[in-house]
Amino acid sequence: MTTTGNSALRHRSAILLASAVLLALALPFMQGLVSAASVDGGFYGYKTNLPVPALPGAAVPRNGLNVVFFGYRSCGTVCPLQLVNLQALEQQWRGQPVHFVFVTLDPENDSQPLLDVTMGALGQNFRAVRPSSFRHAQALAGHYGDFAARQAGNGGDINHSARLYVVTEDNRRQLLYATPELDLARVNADLTRLLEQAQALNNSAIRQDRVAQQKNQAKPVHEVNI
């Protein structure tokens, strides 16, 4: 390779290294950037309205929410950080219609009894979902906008994101949080707002049903002469 070629290669390598450093520094602020790009600036999380599959054994509570996280028990990177967040949130919503759902990406090693014990230790509003296989878990994560990939030759570790997804009773993904670096007070404010919206919609539907029933009862009954 020529001297000019070596110089160009070093220059490109320096640019890539600098970009990687900048990205690492920016990660703690990513949720703020995501929030700023949200289609609804009133939410801290990224506001969406997308259909997602129902989670077997972890239905969204009536007029409530599921906060969904994809991870696995032996994860030593992002999972512990996000589970600490979820446990802190659960303590604020204990006894309320907000469930915190952990979907394992490693069902071959995470048995349902082990998952249930782990979730029970975290709090009463925690639920665990165990897909039938890694492929199924991978596909389910993809439907939510997450990703999962096994690392070759690294003890079966799984690369995945640290995102949280907030899902309403109609199985629509309403909010996304992209990083464990979260302002939990603002997350709680988001959950409160979504619950209020769900309750308002439910009350509106009840009023409409009552009006329809009253109209039906007020209709005159026409006698038929035979």
> What is the structure's pLDDT at 153?
67
The residue among 163, 158, 61 whose CA lies nearest residue 110 is 158
Is it true that domain 47-212 has CATH number 3.90.1170.50?
no
Q: Which residues contact 144 (CB under 8 A, 6 or more apart)?
A: 52, 53, 68, 70, 165, 173
Chunk the chain into consecutive blocks of 10 residues (it has 226) and report each block's average pLDDT, rounded to whole numbers: 48 39 40 47 92 97 97 94 97 96 97 96 97 96 95 80 96 96 97 92 61 65 54
> What is the structure's pLDDT at 209?
56
Is the four-CA dihedral 198, 202, 203, 208 of positive or negative sign? positive
Amino acid present at 24: A
> What is the structure's pLDDT at 208?
59
> What is the structure's pLDDT at 123?
97
> What is the structure's pLDDT at 137?
97
Domain positions in the chain: 47-212
Q: Specify the pTM.
A: 0.75
> What is the structure's pLDDT at 127?
98
> What is the structure's pLDDT at 35?
45
